């Protein structure tokens, strides 16, 4: 059947299982939007292209599928860049489709021409510019395959408008082979028996679960592996939700704002087993002193990550679920020592001696707000966050125990991520409770997406932890720069309640502890787009705090 490039794009998206796309039209994608007009593909019109990229990212994180965003050429495409970089840093599969000027105008500084392929080269897994309509269907097929296989990541497809308008005989592709890219689901490069031998000899092992556990869907294997071998588990920020926080082997998050007991346990372990984590500097502090008395095993799907930051004694490359599954098979035939009573008792002592805590009296505390959100939703809500103090409090006090239910910008630390990501998550799961925990600084980065949520009747709850500061920077200025609060006081800001109402959402404000529960419950039950302005203590800090580059046992507060 003869189809235009725009029609082929839509058919290819549907063949890849895409049901929702997030985007913003413009001159060079009008042909594609013209065909979307008659399509049964659901399109969510955002108010800024950055919101489209983050929404596609949020959709991908909660579903495990590839998220899709669309923008026009030039500024439309460049507005996607922050969202693409966010997805790249956190290994999230999205496909970004951008319009481009006509093929014969490329390289001539044409109106709204920008080399988006060149601009995004360092922050995508792969990129394409389609200059021949005969390559279009194969390009889309390849893009989705690359985005979701191996270490997931963003892929960009730049399509000149004349390619969208031209026509060709089209038939769906069922298979694709990508030259120079080979991925085998069952590939394992490393010695699983040697790993089990090291674990059997260890007296004080620790498992560190990273985002790779969630990406590979390995939470069941991780639970069985940890229980069978009796090994405590710490998680990175990206793995919040990958291991039940209430499990007796769980020590919570490690790193800069991890729990004291997790960080002390890591410092005292004799074997550190990293699974799907890349030793980010917020996790390790000083990499030369990280778990310095421990042997280290690293499991990762990307062989470039093995020993990249912290030298390891052995690395295994492959999918985390497959490797843990293989290890469990071998353990069923050849068990290794799992008697670690002294170690388990020691980590229990650490947990009892250094619990997470905060002062509940006086002004409204952000930790209390987040703790009550967790308790009143029974831990079943999908939580998204922006970036800053509220993000760390959310990781500490919203004890997520369901994988793909805690969405946050870990690697890039993108303010403005949380709200559009919540829109993507709510669009994917309309029946679920989705709450964006944001800061007053972060929310203003993409507050225009209130209109998107209201237009599509998305019952997203935005809980602003409002301290009138760029809180995390203020905290660093207080503790490390002699309280010189340079340009972090943002108490002059809009009335968030009236702002929500201006967009047609419901706005509420909470200033007292006794108002918190009623407001949260009302928001959950209303099933509308709701903004709650929680006015909290201006000077509350996130503790514990490991200063950047310090060792994990050098914690301030907590």
Full DSSP string of 406-440: EE---SS--TT-HHHHHHHHHHH-TTS-EEEEEEH
C-alpha dist (Å) from residue 320 to 173, 217, 243: 30, 8, 14
Helix ranges (DSSP H) in 304-403: 320-333, 341-353, 366-376, 389-397
Query: What are the residue ranges in the chain where pLDDT is below 70?
Result: none
Question: What pTM, to 2 d.p., does this model score?
Answer: 0.96
pLDDT given for residue 518 in this prediction? 98
Give the per-residue pLDDT at 175.
83
Q: Which long-range contacts (CB under 8 A, 24 or more apart) does 100-108 make?
A: 100/28, 100/73, 100/129, 100/158, 100/159, 100/160, 100/161, 101/28, 101/73, 101/160, 101/161, 102/160, 102/161, 102/162, 103/131, 103/160, 103/162, 103/163, 104/162, 106/160
Spatial contact of 287 and 281, defined as CB atoms under 8 Å apart: yes
388 touches 401 (CB < 8 A): no
Which residues, including other chains, have CB under 8 Å from residue 515's CB and lie 6 or more apart?
none
Decide if 460 contacts 529 (C-beta within 8 A): yes
Q: What's the CA gap between 407 and 428, in Å, rounded? A: 14
CA distance 50 to 46: 9
Is the distance from CB of 473 to CB of 415 less than 8 angstroms?
A: no
State the residue for tokens 């507060």. 557
Backbone conformation region of residue 188, classed left if phi is above 0, alpha if psi is from -120 to 50, else beta: beta
- DSSP letter at 112 equals T
Cα atoms in the Cβ-side hemisphere of radius 13 Å centred on 269: 29
Residue 310 near residue 295, CB atoms below 8 Å:
no
Structure tokens that stand for 240 in this block: 């919040």
Structural domains of the chain ordered from first start: 2-169 (3.40.50.970), 188-354 (3.40.50.1220), 366-535 (3.40.50.970)
pLDDT at residue 71, as a whole number: 98
The Cα 381–Cα 400 span in angstroms is: 9
Question: How long, in residues, is the chain?
Answer: 558
- Burial of 165 per CB tally in 10 Å (0-12, 13-18, 19+): middle
Gap between the Cα atoms of 273 and 316, Å rounded: 11
pLDDT, one tens digit per residue, over 505-541 is 999 999 999 999 999 999 999 999 999 999 999 999 9
3-class SS letters over 456-492 = CCCCCEEEEEECCECHHHHHHHHHHCCCCCCCCECCC
Kindly report the CA angle at 296 between 292 and 299, in degrees rounded to 5? Answer: 145
Predicted pLDDT of residue 297:
98
| Cα distance between residue 437 and residue 523, in whole Å | 13
Query: What is residue 8's three-state secondary structure?
Result: helix
Q: Which of 552, 547, 555 is nearest to 234 (CA)?
A: 552
Average pLDDT score over the chain:
96
Dump pLDDT digits (tens) for 220-251: 999 999 999 999 999 999 999 999 999 999 99
DSSP 19-55: -EEEE---GGGHHHHHHHTT-SSEEEE-SSHHHHHHH
Q: Identify the pLDDT of residue 63.
A: 98
Q: Count Cβ atoms within 10 A of the Cβ of residue 38 and give its class: 0-12 exposed, 13-18 middle, 19 or more buried.
A: exposed
Separation between Cα atoms, residue 498 and residue 491, nearest integer Å: 16
């Amino acid at each position: 059947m003869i189809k235009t490039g725009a029609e082929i794009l839509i058919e290819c998206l549907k063949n890849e299982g895409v049901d929702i796309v997030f985007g913003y039209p413009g001159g060079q994608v009008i042909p594609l939007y013209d065909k979307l007009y008659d399509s049964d593909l659901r399109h969510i019109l955002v108010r800024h292209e950055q919101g489209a990229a983050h929404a596609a990212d949020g959709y991908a994180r909660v579903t495990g599928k590839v998220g899709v965003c669309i923008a026009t050429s030039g500024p439309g495409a460049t507005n996607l860049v922050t969202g693409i970089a966010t997805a790249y840093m956190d290994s999230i599969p999205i496909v970004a489709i951008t319009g481009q000027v006509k093929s014969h105008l490329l390289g001539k500084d044409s109106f709204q021409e920008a080399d988006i392929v060149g601009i995004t080269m360092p922050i995508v897994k792969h990129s394409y510019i389609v200059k021949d309509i005969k390559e279009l269907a194969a390009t889309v097929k390849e893009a989705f395959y690359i985005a979701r296989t191996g270490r997931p990541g963003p892929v960009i497809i730049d399509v000149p408008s004349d390619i969208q308008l031209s026509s060709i005989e089209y038939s769906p592709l069922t298979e694709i082979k990508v030259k120079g890219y080979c991925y085998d689901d069952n590939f394992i490069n490393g010695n699983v028996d040697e790993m089990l031998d090291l674990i059997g000899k260890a007296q004080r092992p620790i498992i560190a679960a990273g985002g790779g556990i969630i990406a590979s869907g390995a939470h069941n294997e991780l639970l069985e592996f940890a229980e069978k071998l009796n090994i405590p588990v710490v998680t990175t920020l990206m793995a919040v939700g990958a291991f039940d926080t209430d499990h007796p082997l769980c020590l919570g998050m490690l790193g800069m704002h991890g729990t004291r007991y997790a960080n002390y346990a890591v410092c005292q372990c004799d074997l550190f087993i990293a699974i799907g984590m890349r030793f980010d500097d917020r996790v390790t502090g000083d990499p030369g002193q990280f778990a310095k008395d421990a042997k280290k095993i690293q499991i990762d799907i990307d062989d470039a990550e093995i020993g990249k930051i912290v030298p390891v004694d052995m690395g295994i490359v492959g999918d985390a679920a497959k490797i843990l599954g293989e290890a469990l098979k071998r353990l069923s035939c050849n068990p290794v020592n799992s008697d670690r009573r002294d170690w388990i008792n020691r980590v229990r002592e650490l947990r009892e001696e250094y619990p997470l805590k905060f002062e509940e009296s006086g002004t409204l505390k952000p930790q209390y707000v987040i703790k009550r959100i967790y308790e009143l939703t029974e831990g079943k809500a999908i939580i998204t966050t922006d970036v800053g103090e509220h993000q760390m409090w959310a990781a500490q006090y919203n004890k997520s125990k369901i994988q793909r239910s805690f969405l946050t910008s870990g690697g890039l630390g993108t303010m403005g991520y949380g709200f559009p990501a919540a829109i993507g998550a709510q669009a994917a799961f309309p029946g679920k409770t989705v709450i964006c925990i944001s800061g007053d600084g972060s929310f203003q980065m993409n507050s225009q997406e209130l209109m998107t949520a209201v237009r599509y009747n998305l019952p997203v709850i935005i809980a602003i932890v409002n301290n009138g500061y760029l809180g995390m920077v203020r905290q660093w200025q207080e503790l490390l720069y002699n309280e010189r609060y340079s340009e972090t006081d943002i108490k002059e800001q809009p009335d968030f309640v009236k702002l929500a109402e201006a967009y047609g959402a419901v706005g509420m404000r909470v200033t007292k502890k006794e108002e918190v529960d009623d407001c949260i419950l009302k928001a959950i039950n209303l099933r509308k787009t709701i903004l709650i302005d929680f006015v909290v203590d201006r000077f509350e800090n996130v503790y514990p705090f490991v200063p950047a580059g310090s060792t994990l046992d050098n914690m301030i507060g907590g």
